[in-house]
Structure 1
């Protein structure tokens, strides 16, 4: 149940609702402290599986008797754990990487408060050559890789894949989460790159003023 292989069929997966958006190819560190998520991570690591990350439009992910499911986005990203460690504060720290996108169907809570969903997984992204007119994205991403925070993430980026360059760049940049969520919903690499390029031009214009 926790190890979907992709495709157009519906499958049930556990969800990790977050106030931030995880993108395919994106890396994200998390601190785990609630028991239901500690149990989920232990099961995920034991089974070498994953879970869904879905953006919360508003509110908090609070579980309890009589508490409804959080206000979630209509789609999210299937995540796998790529690193873990015991943090200095005693909490479990993990790093997750985004994989396939999925559309959310029915959502419910388990007795322990864990949010589950029936989802339809998209096919894994097919690597797409990075066109010459998109190379400005590569320059920005390589510049970000020089930042100490990004270097600590030990990213291994395929600069020949436009999807990976665009999504990795979008994950790292401090855009509003609603913007990242909107771009996650795009299925055309040309549209995604055009929107990302427009956002970068807007930021450059603001910096120049």
Structure 2
């Protein structure tokens, strides 16, 4: 399922009705990307299974789970290899939707909570679902003096992107939040999907930021 910029004229998209639950049954959307909490995800949807999924999300105020594809393709094709994906992901909240023509939906989504699951189930229409267990949210911790350079560099990068009309996040940057800073760098850096997935699951936001700091220093993007 290809990603595409979603327009701003939208309807619906309230917070999910189960964001405080410990478990939930979620529809899964395997994609060749890793969604992070707080990250934006524009999607262009045209497969029947995902059009139905999006419709149900809009009716219920619920969301869907974005999981990273390991094998297979986002769009089902005859003779294609079966989808193989990671057994962990992030709950996507649908914020905006537009229907530019029949059979196509443009969604604008935001990543919320991380989750894991054991055994996914494929429905008759091809949609994957799973009973997921939500993981704890990152505690809000300051980057501290050790990682202030990483936060400052992100602030500069976000300003440069904004000048080019590229939006990486909603609202004001949270440069005083180590987990938020680490997540936005993980989205920006050209990391392999497997590395992005492992960093997303790292339970300690300061450790995640430390690993990002190592990559930035190796690339000469942060010094001192």
Fold shared, TM-score > 0.5 on shorter chain: yes
Residues 156/48 of structure 1: CA separation in 2 closer, same or farther (3 Å cut): farther
Q: Which residue of 2 aligns with 1:5?
A: 19
Distance between the aligned counterparts of 2:64 and 2:208, measured in 1? 25
1:152 shift after superposition: 7.8
1:197 shift after superposition: 0.6
Distance between the aligned counterparts of 2:77 and 2:20, measured in 1? 32
Residues 111/78 of structure 1: CA separation in 2 closer, same or farther (3 Å cut): same
Distance between the aligned counterparts of 2:168 and 2:136, measured in 1? 30
Gaps in structure 1 of 5+ consecutive residues: none
1:178 is aligned to 2:194 = yes
1:109 shift after superposition: 0.9
Contact 2:72-2:82 at 8 Å conserved across structures: no
Residues 84/157 of structure 1: CA separation in 2 closer, same or farther (3 Å cut): farther
Q: Superposed, which structure 2 residues align to 1:87-126 within 5 Å?
A: 91-126=104-139
Distance between the aligned counterparts of 2:152 and 2:83, measured in 1? 38
Normalized against structure 2, the TM-score is what? 0.79
SS in 2 for 1:82: strand
Residues 61/81 of structure 1: CA separation in 2 closer, same or farther (3 Å cut): same
Q: Which residue of 1 aligns with 2:59?
A: 46
SS in 1 for 2:119: strand
Q: What is the alpha-carbon root mean square deviation over aligned residues?
A: 2.8
Distance between the aligned counterparts of 2:128 and 2:220, measured in 1? 40
1:5 shift after superposition: 3.0
Q: What is the number of equivalent residue pairs in this alignment?
A: 203
Distance between the aligned counterparts of 2:216 and 2:181, measured in 1? 14
Normalized against structure 1, the TM-score is what? 0.84
